[in-house]
Amino acid sequence: MSSIFAKLLFSTLCMLFLLKTHSLVFADQRLAIVYPVIQNFKSMITSDPLGVTKSWIGSDICNYKGFYCDNPPDNNSAIALASIDFNGFHLSASTLDGFIDKLPDIALFHANSNNFIGTITSQITKLPYLYELDLSNNRFSGPFPIAVLGMNTLTFLDIRFNFFSGGVPQQIFTQNLEILFINNNLLTQKLPENLASSSIFLLTLANNKFVGPIPRNLPKALSSLTEVVLLNNELTGCLPHEIGYFQEAVVFDVGNNQLTGPLPFSLSCLEKVEVVNLAGNMFYGIVPEIVCAGLVNLVNFSLSDNYFTHVGPFCRMLIQRGVLDVGKNCIHDLPFQRSVMECADFFAKPKICPFMWFHSFFPCKFPFQNSQVSSIP
Ligand SMILES: *[C@@H]1O[C@H](CO)[C@@H](O)[C@H](O)[C@H]1NC(C)=O
Ligand SMILES: *[C@@H]1O[C@H](CO)[C@@H](O)[C@H](O)[C@H]1NC(C)=O
């Protein structure tokens, strides 16, 4: 009895909804198509503290808060929903499935700082114009969203500050991305080993569980990176001298990993670098004077919490200027160092870095000479 009543009520509501949709006049057929998709998504939103969805009524989709229209690439006289910017709206919904993937003309989707959860549907692969996808600072989980692999329109992918876990497919580094932010997730992965080239110039991998060494050919492949941000991972091994290929880097941050070995002299090839953070590793040996003397833009050079034993006069000048921090090392004529015992323990263990004969090698113009060093064997 009550079920028949419920069915009746449901079909009446459906009819009302259809009538209402039909009575709406849209500026373009493309907007009529996405209207029910948006209304369906609106009904799934469980929290809207800023009340933005109140504006999501009627046919004027282009004036809904967070929605932007433009002429689609395939028809200059049409009007389509081209862009969504939900940044900071603090909306909650259990999924974006059935929403983002049903917006055929979407080019930019920005949803930073909401409470969206779930995984990313593989259906987004079919969106022909999507080039910026920002899902950062939400509560997405599950594996890396492999749906984006092979989406050659996509140039900007930001999934940082979520709970994505597992591996990162290497293909992501070789498609057309220019900006890839995946820091602050639970991703476990070795850095890509056979990367020959990449269009990425902004990449943040920090605060994940990246493991293994920094591959020797990685810096050359990513030589247009302006920020090399690998801090708080579980990287091991020695810094290859090829880090000198990061010649565009303004930030070089490998702090809080388990890296070891002496610092390659090629660090001085990073002529634009302002921030170098190697703190919280197991680096040892001499702090190369050529780095302290050659990197004139340095404002923060942190080597604290390592096992360095010597600093020369140029580096001491940087210490005095408050640029270089060598606290908690094994430099016994300086204050705030490790105990002699702790240092002795560390140096008693065997140390091997491969390719050590290259560690004084520069894959760049030697700063104090005019000779160009030729390519590395
Ligand atoms: C382009 O869009 C306009 C407006 O929606 C439409 O009238 C026209 O038929 C479309 N042209 C093509 C070639 O699809
Ligand atoms: C320098 O960098 C380190 C490591 O990133 C950071 O902890 C420290 O606060 C910075 N110092 C200054 C003066 O900015």
pLDDT at 370: 43
Taking CA atoms, 198 is separated from 173, 174, 180, 345, in Å, by: 6, 5, 11, 42
Question: Lowest-confidence range among 13-17, 36-40, 139-143, 257-261?
Answer: 13-17
pLDDT at 366 over 70: no
Ligand closest to CA 278: 2
- Cβ of 171 closer than 6 Å to ligand 1, yes or no, is no
Instruction: Tell me what the mean pLDDT of segment 229-250 comes to.
Output: 94
- What does the alpha-carbon distance between residue 28 and residue 32 come to, in Å, rounded to a whole number? 7
pLDDT at 4: 62
- Cβ of 27 closer than 6 Å to ligand 1, yes or no, is no
pLDDT by residue (tens digit) across 102-122?
Answer: 999 999 999 999 999 998 888
For the chain, domain boundaries: 34-358
Q: Could you give the count of Cα atoms lying within 13 Å of 353 in the half-sphere of its Cβ?
A: 24
Ligand closest to CA 277: 2
Residue having the nearest C-alpha atom to atom 3 of ligand 1: 78
Fold of 34-358: 3.80.10
- Cβ of 277 closer than 6 Å to ligand 2, yes or no, is yes
Which ligand 2 atom lies nearest to the CA of residue 279? 4
Ligand closest to CA 304: 2
pLDDT by residue (tens digit) across 47-65?
Answer: 999 999 999 999 999 999 9
- Cβ of 28 closer than 6 Å to ligand 1, yes or no, is yes
pLDDT at 300 over 80: yes
Instruction: Tell me what the mean pLDDT of segment 181-190 comes to.
Output: 95
pLDDT at 80: 98
pLDDT at 322 over 50: yes
Q: By 3-state DSSP, what share of the chain in percent is helix, strand and coil, each rounded to 5?
A: 25, 25, 50
Taking CA atoms, 350 is separated from 160, 214, 261, 346, 353, in Å, by: 38, 21, 11, 9, 10
pLDDT at 227 over 80: yes
- Cβ of 75 closer than 6 Å to ligand 1, yes or no, is yes
What is the rounded average pLDDT for all residues in the chain?
A: 90
Do the Cβ atoms of 354 and 277 come closer than 8 Å?
Answer: no
Q: How far is the CA of 81 from the centre of ligand 1 (A)?
A: 15
